[in-house]
Structure 1
């Protein structure tokens, strides 16, 4: 067995949710985290007797001592199985990504056929975000009622409705329905999958599976941008339809989360489910013993979670939660105010038709590929440079890209100078934008949801973040086309630039670095306490800042 070091925090199980990425398992917070002072430090660890260790006492009396969480060692079989689960669940994100890039390949066709006229274009683009706003909160409740698996399979239904709507009808109303359905599917997938993954995966590969799921969103955009320009409208829609069908065909065979089954007091089914995900050899007595220990620990976690269920009002119930939700909400707002959504949807119709050497649609293929590569390359930087430096670098450099782009469109719209020889500028800034956005502001806001919020309200904070992301995207996508047609794209790029630099200022003055800090230390900072660490032995002591006395 492997005993993974838990962080120095009152709740020895909180680490399991944190490493699962944003929106970890709901309802996981000890009374210590809520300020009630009940620590589970004296509970026996759910480990085999021969390896059980006692946790050292905390002389300071504040935070609980570090404990080690028991988890079975992943085997090659269980790792393969869980990665297959990640790929299958990733199809739900890939479908959402394909629908995000769908307008870029279809706006011209739909406008030429007079299916979309005037403001219909911006409405069609924005309605996916409207659908995305509607589903996170209901999905959060539904997956605790009917289960993670059935709720997630619901995304296949809404995605199929979306594809069939555009395949059968060539009318704006079915198009609008398709976009709403695609948004509903995206909201459900991104509410359920991070929690599902956190509950079934081994700790050692949980972070990789979560990262892979986000990567499938970018892969879906790349897929749509590659297929769209070189095929017909109908072929593109059939190509997108193939993704949820692949999800449906593969995901049906995975068992329900053992965590949910324990919530419903179905111990036998939970044991069978966990055994499947761990690929336990039933003839191996040691593996069966370890399975029982992990299931026993999970059962105690579920019991504790059911007693400490979070509510939306708890997001603002304490000083620490209020500051955390302020950071999460503001960064979500700034992320979508940076211009990413209109860039995905409208770049092919606003960029100059010449000057880049390639067509705008080919540049969007390169753009989406760079999003994937840059996001992958940024992952090791998160724990080397830290979250705050990456956010600062990303927001400032992204703001610089939008400022240069805006200056070009201003000169083009006002015709103050001849910019025909400068048509290459928006192409270059588009590719630079894909890199600067991906290394920080594009993914770190979601990361901070998992790091800043106590686990019993983490899913609620994730829902709030998702709704803000969708709402801002909806407004920006709807306004961008109208403003660009009447005042020129430069006005919107000025807005993007101001928001990027406002984000940098917010990060500099409000956001603090979480790199290398335990969950307990992060909560102390949020609640107005500072932490000092002895470099020799890593002991943590707490000091109340003078301005908080």
Structure 2
């Protein structure tokens, strides 16, 4: 591994770490091919009601709250590497429970356990990748978390649509084993090692990630980031007490909230049910597989261009297209279910509308909010920040999913899509006025921006650290 050139190990580490997120995505996406098989199916031993199905779908979100809170305390104790390795175990046992489940209760427990692992995974993996990636590729590697999650959705829809529930679960458990075996060989985050005052180990780790010996400048930047924090290990209240952290919270909470209230997670939970209601000539199984395949391809495209195009332009394009697609979708279902208008000649619109939604949504809103999670918070509070972000995500995704189910059952699916449209319009306004551009900036430069300080001050700090003279530092700062 140490011989990998041009910093290639950071790519391998990201791929290996993201296997945990692939498994997570498979757990989240599992209801899409499975619910139609067991929902009100009296011939199945796993027959469940609509209410039980709704609870089963969102159970991982509830478990994620506990997982995220736990992660905030263990990720700085055990380290990023050990924490990622440990997440493989609950994912694996959850699949075994699904494979041998004989009641809805067993499924609820299994998915709750997977949710706990999810809370840990989405706290530590973006953190680890953000800390090991060079600025020139941090957008690409940070966005890979979303790519991996969506790949998990696609994979479980492919497997689950054509295999039995038991076989699907057993096959899926192999991803957990692969994640465990491969990540053992990855280095620990140099940021974490510096937090533990293990400077030589941090340098050794960074050399492996960068594949060259000249890492002194980068190590110095990391030390500045840690030493200039109020404390090497902050506390939860620093997220709200320090103005730059509050600004980061507003950005992340807004993006993640509008991301979920555009309906993305709710739609993925009920993808096959939505396509079944649409009555298209394309089968629900085929349509959902196409949906997740397009989502995967477009998110991969977004990840490959985010470091060149920038975060803000992609977010603006993404949200604008999503608004149009959601409005079209809602209007079709309104005309079909609430009017006498004949829509038999345009039955392709629901599938085309959702594909349009997933194309535009995946360009920016799918991956960039997660990428920003690893960029906006300083090391001293990053564990708490990602924990809170995951808890927050779980809550808003649960509300959005419940909103879709209640609207479908009570008022009609068109009302759900109109609601998602209105939220997306609000999200577009938020992006325009609040979300900053972080393209090409180091993690340290981003902190200077959030503090409202000029870029020149950051470069002066770097110069004076090298000069290592307090007098020179004061003179330079006075001239800015």
TM-score interval for Structure 1 and Structure 2 normalised by the shorter chain: 0.7 to 0.9
How many Å apart are 1:518 and its aligned residue?
7.5
**1:492 counterpart residue number:** 416
Alignment of 1:71-220 (within 5 A): 76-77=4-5, 79-111=7-39, 112=41, 113=44, 115-200=47-132, 206-220=138-152
How many Å apart are 1:104 and its aligned residue?
0.6
Structure 2: how far apart are the matches of 1:204 and 1:309?
27
On the 8 A contact 1:352/1:423 being kept in 2, the answer is no
Q: Does 1:361 align with 2:285?
A: yes
Task: Give CA deviations for 1:400-447 in whole Å, capped at 9, x if unaligned.
Answer: 211111112222322532333332111001111111101122222233
On the 8 A contact 2:312/2:431 being kept in 1, the answer is yes
Task: Give CA deviations for 1:429-481 in whole Å, capped at 9, x if unaligned.
Answer: 11111111011222222334445444533443333322222111112223322
Structure 1: how far apart are the matches of 2:404 and 2:376?
33
Q: Which piece of structure 1 moves more, 519-528 or 205-214? A: 519-528
On the 8 A contact 1:105/1:225 being kept in 2, the answer is yes
How many Å apart are 1:264 and its aligned residue?
4.2
On the 8 A contact 2:248/2:376 being kept in 1, the answer is yes
Relative to structure 1, the CA distance from residue 176 to residue 297 in structure 2 (aligned partners, 3 Å threshold; closer, same or farther) is same
* Structure 1 residue runs without a partner (length 5+): 1-73, 281-286, 533-549
Relative to structure 1, the CA distance from residue 173 to residue 343 in structure 2 (aligned partners, 3 Å threshold; closer, same or farther) is same
**1:505 counterpart residue number:** 429
How many residues are aligned here?
452
Structure 2: how far apart are the matches of 1:99 and 1:241?
10
Structure 2: how far apart are the matches of 1:295 and 1:383?
23
Normalising by structure 1, we get a TM-score of 0.73
How many Å apart are 1:387 and its aligned residue?
3.2
Relative to structure 1, the CA distance from residue 415 to residue 222 in structure 2 (aligned partners, 3 Å threshold; closer, same or farther) is same
How many Å apart are 1:244 and its aligned residue?
0.3
Q: CA RMSD in A?
A: 3.4
Secondary structure (helix, strand or coil) at the match of 2:48 reads coil
Relative to structure 1, the CA distance from residue 306 to residue 256 in structure 2 (aligned partners, 3 Å threshold; closer, same or farther) is farther
Q: Does 1:418 align with 2:342?
A: yes
Q: Pick from 316, 330, 349: which aligns with 2:240?
A: 316
Structure 1: how far apart are the matches of 2:11 and 2:455?
38
Normalising by structure 2, we get a TM-score of 0.82
Structure 1: how far apart are the matches of 2:370 and 2:341?
42
* Structure 2 residue runs without a partner (length 5+): 457-480
Relative to structure 1, the CA distance from residue 135 to residue 427 in structure 2 (aligned partners, 3 Å threshold; closer, same or farther) is same
**1:475 counterpart residue number:** 399
Relative to structure 1, the CA distance from residue 202 to residue 232 in structure 2 (aligned partners, 3 Å threshold; closer, same or farther) is same
